[in-house]
Amino acid sequence: MDFVKFGIIGTGAVWGYHRLGAKNNPKIKFISAYDTNERNLNRAAKFSKLKTYSKLDDFFKSDIDAVLVMVPHYLHKDIVVAAAEAGKHVICEKPMATTLEECDDMITATKKAGIKFMIAENHRFLPAHQYIKDIIDRGLIGDVFFGRSYEGAFVTADQFLDPNKWNFTYDKGGGGVVADQGVHKFTFLNWLLGEVYSAQSWLGKAINSPPNKGEDTAIVLLRYRSGAMITVDISSLTIHPLTNRTELHGTKGTILEDHSWEKPVQIFSSHLDAEVKGEFYSPTIEHGPFPKYYKISMGYEDAYFAECILEDKTPEFTPEQAKQGVAIVLLSYLSAKKGDFATMDDLMKIYNTIGTRSILEGLDKVVKKNYEHIKWEL
Ligand SMILES: NC(=O)c1ccc[n+]([C@@H]2O[C@H](COP(=O)([O-])OP(=O)(O)OC[C@H]3O[C@@H](n4cnc5c(N)ncnc54)[C@H](O)[C@@H]3O)[C@@H](O)[C@H]2O)c1
C-alpha cells in the first residue's frame, strides 16, 4: 500500500485545516465524506472531489482504509466505536471525549478491532512544541518547577450566544473553554511534565451566554506529581488572532514560547550543552502565526497517522495519554464545583462510583458571571 484512503466524518470548520495540511502529501488520499448536514457535506465534496454518503453504514462499506472524525465532542465515542467495528483505522479530533467512561469505550473497541487509533491533538505535532519537548528531555532547562500557559482561541460570538450551536455546551461540548481549548494545553504539558496531582480552577463568563453554554474564560492551577506548579489561562473571547503561549522555568533555564511570534521559541539556558550561553536565543523552527501553524501541525499529525498505518507502527501519542487530557478537564471542573483544589484521587473516586458524567451536572451553577460590568460591541 503506497497511500492511505481516508474518509471523513464531519465537514465543518476544522476540515479546512486538515485539507490544507494534507495537500500534496502522496501518502494521504481523502476520497469520501459523511455528514448529517447536507450543505456542509456537498460543499466539502465539491471542493475536494469527495464521494458523499448519506448513511454511515454505506460510508463504512466504501473503499476506505481509515476515517478522520471531526464531529461535536459528544459524538466522538459512538462514531469511533462504529468505525472500529467496521474495521477502519481512526483518527479523531480532540478532546477525546466528554467523560472518562467514553474514553474507555473507545479504547476497548479500537483495541478489540486491532486498528490504529489516535486522537488528533495537533499540539503534539507543532514543530515548536516538539522542539520544546527535546530541550526539556536534553535537560537544557533542568527540572521544571514553575510556569504558565495560555490558549487564546478567539471564536465568533455566535458560538457562545447561539444556544443551538453545540460549541461550548455542557451536553454536546462537554463544557466550555476548559474542555474545548484547555485540553490542548493539558495534553501538551503532560507530555513535558508527567502526571498531574491536583488542580484548582476558576470558571468565568465574560459574555452573557445562554445557560446551556459553559465558561468562556478560565484559570486552572495545576500541581504536577513532579512538584511543578503551572497556571493555565484559557479564553475564547480574547481579541487577537488565535495563539497559544507557554513559559517554563527550570533549574537551569527558561523557555518562552508564543505562536504569534515569527520565531515562536526563546530559550535561556545555563546548561553546558546550550547552543547559546548568557542570553536568550531563538532557534529557527518551521512555523508561522495563525493560521499557518494550524495547517503545519495538522499536516504533520495526519501524515504521521498515515505513516503508522503504512508502516504498521503504533502511534506514539496513545489514546491513554489523550484520556489524561480529558481527566484534567474533568479535574478542573471538579475543583470549580468543590470551590477548592481537587486531586486525581478525588476524580478517581467519582470514576469508580457514580461516574464522571456527574461532574458536568450542575456545573453551570459554579461559573462566575463576570459580565455585568463588561460591555461588548457585537
Ligand atoms: N485541533 C484544533 O485546533 C481544532 C480546531 C477546531 C475544531 N477542532 C475539533 O474538531 C471537531 C469538529 O469541530 P468543528 O469546529 O469542525 O465543528 P463544526 O461544528 O464546524 O463541524 C462539525 C460537523 O460535524 C457534523 N455533524 C454533526 N453531527 C453529525 C453526525 N451525527 N454525523 C456526522 N456529522 C455530524 C456537522 O454537520 C458539521 O458539519 C471538534 O472535536 C473540535 O474540538 C479542533
Spell out the domains of the chain, with CATH numbers in brackets. Answer: 4-121 (3.40.50.720), 124-294+323-371 (3.30.360.10)
Q: Which of 32, 37, 71, 234 to mutate to test the pocket of ligand 1 (most atoms within 8 A of CB)?
A: 71
* 266 contacts 132 by C-beta, under 8 angstroms: no
Q: Which residues have CB under 8 Å from 193's CB, separation 6+?
A: 144, 224, 226, 228, 230
Does residue 154 have a pLDDT over 90? no
User: Using CA of residue 92, residue 95, residue 97, residue 103, what is the dihedral sign?
Assistant: positive
Ligand 1 binding pocket includes 40 (Cβ within 6 Å): yes
Measured by CA distance, the residue closest to atom 2 of ligand 1 is 122
What pLDDT, on a 0 to 100 scale, did the predictor assign at position 372? 87
Quick one: 261 exposed, middle or buried, by C-beta within 10 A (0-12, 13-18, 19+)? middle
Ligand 1 binding pocket includes 129 (Cβ within 6 Å): no
Closest ligand 1 atom to Cα of 122: 1
Ligand 1 binding pocket includes 35 (Cβ within 6 Å): yes
Measured by CA distance, the residue closest to atom 34 of ligand 1 is 35
For residue 324, give the nearest of 146, 188, 148 by alpha carbon.
Answer: 188
What pLDDT, on a 0 to 100 scale, did the predictor assign at position 375? 86
Ligand 1 binding pocket includes 181 (Cβ within 6 Å): no
Residue 355 pLDDT grade (very low, low, confident, very high; cuts 50, 70, 90): very high
What pLDDT, on a 0 to 100 scale, did the predictor assign at position 157? 86
* 188 contacts 124 by C-beta, under 8 angstroms: yes
pLDDT digits (tens, 9 = 90+) for 175-209: 999 999 999 999 999 999 999 999 999 999 999 99
Ligand 1 binding pocket includes 121 (Cβ within 6 Å): no
User: Rounded to whole angstroms, how far apart are CA atoms 63 and 26?
Assistant: 18
Q: CB atoms < 10 A from the CB of 47, how many?
A: 12
Does residue 376 have a pLDDT over 90? no
* Antiparallel, parallel or unpaired: β 229-235 and 243-250: unpaired
Ligand 1 binding pocket includes 323 (Cβ within 6 Å): no
Ligand 1 binding pocket includes 65 (Cβ within 6 Å): no
Closest ligand 1 atom to Cα of 73: 41
Residue 377 pLDDT grade (very low, low, confident, very high; cuts 50, 70, 90): confident
Taking residues 252-258, report their average pLDDT: 98
What pLDDT, on a 0 to 100 scale, did the predictor assign at position 311? 98
Percent of the chain whose pLDDT exceeds 90: 96
Please give the mean pLDDT across all residues of the chain: 97
What pLDDT, on a 0 to 100 scale, did the predictor assign at position 333? 98
What pLDDT, on a 0 to 100 scale, did the predictor assign at position 1? 83
Does residue 97 have a pLDDT over 80? yes
Cell of 257: 514560547
pLDDT digits (tens, 9 = 90+) for 228-239: 999 999 999 999
Does residue 378 have a pLDDT over 80? no
Does residue 125 have a pLDDT over 80? yes
Residue 10 C-alpha to ligand 1 middle, in angstroms?
6
What pLDDT, on a 0 to 100 scale, did the predictor assign at position 296? 96
Residue 30 pLDDT grade (very low, low, confident, very high; cuts 50, 70, 90): very high
Measured by CA distance, the residue closest to atom 18 of ligand 1 is 12
Ligand 1 binding pocket includes 73 (Cβ within 6 Å): yes
Percent of the chain whose pLDDT exceeds 70: 100
